[in-house]
Amino acid sequence: MKLYNLEGCPYCRMVIEKLDVLGLTYEKIEVPGWRGARKEVFEVSGQYTVPVLVDGDLIFDDEETILPYLEKKYGSTKDH
């Protein structure tokens, strides 16, 4: 699992917190602050914004889809 992350992004932080609560292992890939420089993010998701989560062949490009997916697939030990 890979998470494209921008340091200081509150939406990315929400995803990181959910991944940590669920005890999931993932690779965090830091992206540049300037959207135009996020070529890898665009190649993966078709957009320049983050967070983007890659789980196998599945790609999620917004915290509003990532968080419910993680909850449904991996369950929660406790909600916060």
Alpha carbons 48 and 69: distance in angstroms, whole number: 21
pTM score, whole prediction: 0.90
Separation of CA 32 from chain center: 15
Question: At 32, is the secondary structure helix, strand, or coil?
Answer: coil
Q: Which two tokens stand for residue 49?
A: 């914004």
pLDDT band of residue 80 (cuts 50, 70, 90) is very low
**What residue spans of the chain are helical by DSSP H?**
10-21, 39-45, 63-74
Domains for the chain: give ranges and CATH numbers: 2-74 (3.40.30.10)
The packing angle between helices 63-74 and 10-21, to 10°, is 0
- Go through the chain and tell me how many residues it has: 80
What does the pLDDT look like over 12-68, one tens digit per residue?
A: 999 999 999 999 999 999 999 999 999 999 999 999 999 999 999 999 999 999 999
